[in-house]
Each structure stands twice: as C-alpha cells, then as structure tokens.
Structure 1
Amino acid sequence: MPDAPVRLLIHGASGRMGRALLRLCAGRDDCLPVAAVSRTVGQRVIDGVPQFATTELHGVPAFDVAIDFSLPEGLGAILALSIERGAGFVSGTTGLAQAQQDALDAAAERIAVLPAANFSLGVAVLEELVERAAGALHGWDCDIVEAHHVHKQDAPSGTALALGASAQRGGAEARYASLRAGDIVGEHTVQFSGIGERIELIHRAGDRDIFARGALAAAVRLRGRPAGRYRLRDLLFA
C-alpha cells in the first residue's frame, strides 16, 4: 500500500515561491497542501486549499511538514508552531539574523529542520561533487564563477558561497567572480586547475520552478525523520 501524501503547510503562500509550491504540489501524488498561510487573506479557500492569515496560525489543521518561504520576521511563529505540532520544518527564507539561526539550531533538537538558501537538487549534488573533488585535488586552484540577472544585488551569490564552503571542507580555498547580466536565472561554475589540466563542474538554472520542486522533494523526504538539522544533500545521499 503506498504511503499517504505528506500533508504540507505552505507559509508565505502569496509570494512567488509560495504560489509555485501550491501549483506544483497540485500535480503530485506524494504531497497534499492542507493550509496556505499569508499575511492577509481574501478568499478562504483557493483551489481546494484552506487559506489562513499569519495571525490565525494556531487554527491550521494537522500537517506533517511546514514549508516556509516568507520573511525573516515571520520565521519565529511558524517555527514555534512546527515544534508544538511535532512537524518537520523546511525553510528557504533568507536574510536571517544570528538569533534566528540559533533558533533553528535549538528547534533541531526537537524536530527535523532543513533550512537552505537554494533548493535546486542539481546544486545539492554539485556541492557533494565539489567537496569530493577538492578533497582529491590537493594543491589545485579553485575558482567559482557565478552569473545572475541584473537585478540581483548580492555578490557572490549565496549559492556560490555555499559551494565555496563545500570546497573548503574538502581542503580547497575558493576564489570568486560574479557577473550580472540580462535575465540569467542562475549559473555556477566551479573550476579546479592543476598543471596542464582543468576540471569544470557547472550548474545552470533555466527555470525558477526548480527551487519549488526541490523544496517539495525535501519536505517529502523529511517526513518521519528524527530531530536534527539537515541539508538537502543529506536527504539525497541517505
């Protein structure tokens, strides 16, 4: 008998990622949105999904995993509810203060928590490959080149820094270069250069839906996991 769908609470449902999560979840049989939470609510039910305001969190039905793509100031309430309900917690909310990172660490002692700046499954695999390559190619230069659309302000990107951290865990120190042009969704190249040879590991994102798909995959895999702070790659390679 197949497992029942994972019951999801989507927090930040009116945002771009929240809308993508609801749209993509509707086409899957392994997850079911049981509540969509936004700062304000118009219709009470949209496409069969009950809608709740952030002030109504304690009235949401039972859920297995909360997926949070909101704002830093909204993290505390949904994290506290997930702990109270014993539910898993997946968050793509960025710009968190150290106190909020500490709150995630504390929550991980009681529930399964997976925060990430990038939910691309391909990037999760790339991080693993970069760490392995860095560990094998001692003394090689490591350079990370990232490209994004003209409106992206931070540089290097959070993903580039995460790849650099993977390289560092393998024993390499990365150098960074950034490009802002056109409507590029996201491209990351990690180059290892030795004497007379070079390796390039490349990931290109052509569709922002990949991040929503990755978050849904993470939520499905997180259900039933013991308490702890997880990385997306932990679930892929488990």
Structure 2
Amino acid sequence: MTFVWPDGSWMDALAFTWTLVLWFVYGRFADKLPPDEVAPGNLNQMMHQLRRIWMRRMLDRPERILDSALTGHSVSSTTFFASTSMLIMAGLLGVLGRAGDAHAVIQSFGFTVHSSELMFELKVLGLIGLFMIGFYKFTWALRQFNFACTLIGAAPLPPVEPGSGARFADHAARVMSLAVVSFNGGIRSYYFAMAWLGWFIHPMAFAAGTGIVVLVLLKRQVKSRSQASVAEYYEATGR
C-alpha cells in the first residue's frame, strides 16, 4: 500500500519536513544544558550559570522571601500560557467542526494556493498539535518550578558548609533551568504556530516563515543586546 500525500503536492511535503528538521535542530541547540564546568555557548546556557550564582547567594540570606517571590512569578507566567494554550486549542477545534465553511473562506482569498478540504483539516490539526505540545511543555514546566520552590524551602540555613552549599546550588539551579527549558519549548510552539499559518497561503510561505522564525530565535540566543548584556555580566562575575 502506497501512501499518497493529500493534494499530491511535493512542496507541502518539503515544507513540512523542513519545519520538523528546524524544530528538532534548534531545540537541540537551545535546550541543551552543558556540564557546569563547560563555558556556555548561548543565552540560555549563560542564564543557567547565573542561576547557580543566584542559588549560592541565596544561601547567605537567612530569609528567602525574595527568592520565593521570583520563583512564584515564573509559576504565574507558566500558568497563564498553559491556560491560553487550552483556549486556543478549543477555538481550533471549533474551526475543525466547521471546516467546510472555514475552508471556503480561505479559498475565497485571491492570494492563497488551492487545496482540498482534507488538506485544510490536516493543517488545522497540525496547529492543534503544536499548541498541545505547548500545553504539555507548560504544565511540565509548572511542575518543575514547584520542585524548585520545594528545594528553596529545603535549602540549608547559614552558615552553610562550602561543599554542601555548592551541591545545593548546582542541583537547585539545574531543576530551575530544566523548568525554563520546558517553558521555552512551550513558547517555541507559539512561534512555530505563527509560521504554520503561512501554510494556509502557500507551502513556500510556510517554509520561509519557519526559517525566519528560527533565524530570529538564533539571533536572540547569540547576537542580541540582551545576550550581550548577560554575557558581559557573566564575564564580570568571574564565572
């Protein structure tokens, strides 16, 4: 039995494959946390090292109210995006329920490529899948932030032995960074969903949009003003 891509468009298949490749390649680059002794190669890795410094300095404070408040802010942001993902999925399911009408509206635009109703439904299902990935990423990030809150609550009080403090800071920072990795993965699904909308216009618009999204994300990781400021401070701390 031979699989036939709906509408028989090789451009659709190419654009979809291109997006999958960029999704996994960029995710591998942005989400990898290096060993603590390895110099960071992007903004996310620098932030991980700065979280280690944060956790070490927290141990010198008898009261950790500030640290708990900062972690709680991250929890609130993650909860907001998780809820928003659910609402978007509900809206897209509504579109899928009236796929015939929605498809007719899209096809009435003069700048969209012709596609079948089946292909339209697959594109909507793909969008739902992206936001579903985002939802699971956000909820896992939420749980990990809760783990980080527990670690902060269980942190040893000063004076702390140097070896014990360093171990705590390394583990607490890694748990928090893993939570941020999941959160970033959820945000990334929103960026890729914006590019996915180009597929309703033309497969090449979809492919180009995905490429632009990844270039923007790469620039923010290695060549943005925020990255430069964080790198400057990271170097000033003496690593």
Q: Report the TM range for the smaller structure's normalisation.
A: under 0.3
> Bigger relative contact order, structure 1 or 2, given CA contacts below 8 A and separation 6+?
2
Greater percentage in helix: 2
Greater percentage in strand: 1
TM-score (norm 2): 0.23
